[in-house]
Structure 1
Amino acid sequence: MPITSTIRITGSVGANGRNTPADVKAVQQRLNDLSRPPLAKLAVDGVAGPKTKGMIADFQKKVVGLRAPDSRVDPNGRTLAALNNAASERIWSGQGGATPPPPITPPGTAPGMPGGAGAVRGISPFEQGRLDALRAQLKLQPDSAPARDFLEYLANNEIQTLKMILNVQGAAQYVVEAMMGINVALKVGFNARDIVTILTSSAIRLDAALDMMRSWRTAAASGSKAVRALKALGNIALVIQVMATFTVVVDHFRANRFGQGFAEIYATGIGALVPWGGFLNAMQEMLYAANPGIANDPRFGTAFRYLLAIDPIGAGKTAIDTGVTFTELLVKSMFGGQVKGNEVNELIERMRNSPMRFWVEIGESSGEWMGNKFGDWWYRNVLS
């Protein structure tokens, strides 16, 4: 049916969107208004489910001109503009008769200009100058195509995020290094939308996010390991949570408040719905990437092993096993039963093959120290 009004949304709708019910209903109703048979109408229920996302993707492909639809409608984005264009109904039905809304420019090309080298609508002359300089510097970086494509993605789809980056204070090289860190993240498997979500998150200051991304640019070593550990978390919300915790931890470490820093790591790990080991691995690799010198500091390695050892799930199971087994052995010894040495050894091996391995090693080290410290004295003064 012909549309006679303009819809507005307060947040993104669809895949990885905010999906407030009112916004989702507005998009669902507009999609229904613009669609014709054989397309089935959506239930206007305020839920961004698979059918709603699928219909957004179909609209983006056939009307907006996206070759790789993202199933998402953003405020002030081109998909929303097309939803507010009455001509979209005929275009979507395949009848033509109208000029489609301008398609999303492929990555690497600024609007209306070849090669990502032209003016971008919506930014100031000062910002345009910075953008041109950044483009030129990225071209000089080896293997930087993903970063250059991301920059043009921002120019075409995320003007506000682009403006934030272009107005970052500091030397121009700072932004280049951050973009090369983003380059690593894109090569590991993050997509452009993931990076934008991180940069615009209220949980992390932009300068802090860019600082972390700068530390990722050493793709041959710790930077790549850190990004892979973050990607392994599997959920961009968890990635942001880990990165936000990292900024707090680094502040503590810089002030030599190591106990408080590791306490923050523990508190976040307890509250996060993520495997304990995966969370700690991501945090450790990020710290090593940001400050490679601490990778050789035994204090940090030991602290992370300690945190792994108090895994509330893995260590908890082994702790119960340990407590029950020792109680059983104690009862046997008290009532004259024979305690078999292999029962203790088997328990130690189970602990050694669990997150509680740390405690076994502490016990063995303490035993050796006590033997060396007091063994000779005991022999001379008691046994002789």
Structure 2
Amino acid sequence: MTTCGDGRLTCDEETIDTIRERVLSDVSARAPFDAVTGNEDRVSDGAVSGDARATKTDREVAVSVTSLSKRFGDGADAVTAVDDVSFDAETGSIVGLLGPNGAGKTTLIKSVLGMVLPDEGTVEIRGIDVYDRPREAYTHVDAMLEGARNDYWRLTVRENLRYFATISGVDPDSVRDRHDRLLAQLGLAEKADVPVRDLSRGMKQKVSLASVLAGGATVVFLDEPTLGLDIESSRTLQRELRRLVEEEDLTVILSSHDMDVVETVCDRVLIMSAGKIIADDTVDSLLRETGLHCVQITSTDLDAQIVSTLRGQFDTFSANAREAGYQIEVTTDSDGLYALLALLRTSDVTLGRVRTVEPDLEDVFVDLTAGDRTPGER
């Protein structure tokens, strides 16, 4: 072991391997014991046993946030990042958290996880106040907040799963089948004995998710879980998430900018804007209640000037040039639709083809958060 010029200690490869063997030996030797609570129930496949596990019909509240607020700075320069936010997340559900940059998502998640101390409000995990009994509350929680930075890159994939299971209070040998299943489902089985540092970015992302799920936490926070994944890997991850939630009564809080992921896997969606929750409902309900209409219009009479005018009038607008004219797509409310047709008529545009398109979650999101344009995110 040597000392660098800046005072940091570094190890050669032989020393690293020795430390790794000792750590993993200690990990394997530990009894299946919850070091914080002394609870020996968390030993079977990482699940909470007995009466502590809710049935799907009970739908008990796993995460409860009440009147949470957080401000940064003082006086006239103070910024309210989270403003009187309240919500519940039920056992066996995936709750999506959406919002533009600066909406307060990061501060909200960090406040729930105890990484930021809020100015007001309470947070309970499985009925335990996280500020009164943080160590007990967080034995039920795991999180992936910064993509593939969760793992120890010198350890192999399987060693990471064993390590993170152990620090969650679970005997790694008791959940070996769970680890094998995670490795297979996430396409990591052939890489189980490969150091994480030798994997691609997408593979590292999947290892991070597997490590979060390795110990059997019942409440999981995921920030951009599909970041860096190709389409097939992303779909595999989404299917595995749904399976775990449905079979093991997990509760997942998922934050993502990928609307397709949120729309596919989430039971409920929270949309934040300017520190407040402005929508809290199922995707289907949000789509039904939005009042938006999406139309696709093709015309040889559409030119660049008309398209430029339309682009300035509608927040959700796209245009594709054709050999003659344009194909435009506009998402707007009833008044906007009438205004669109009136403008096209006064511009002597003959409609070639008109097709209605069902609005998606991205359209709803843009419509609800159109006024929230704060740069940077708290």
Shorter-chain TM-score above 0.5? no
- TM-score using structure 1 length: 0.28
TM-score normalized by structure 2? 0.28
> Which structure shows the higher helix fraction?
1
> Structure 1 or 2: larger strand share?
2
For CA contacts below 8 A with separation 6 or more, give which structure has more relative contact order. 2
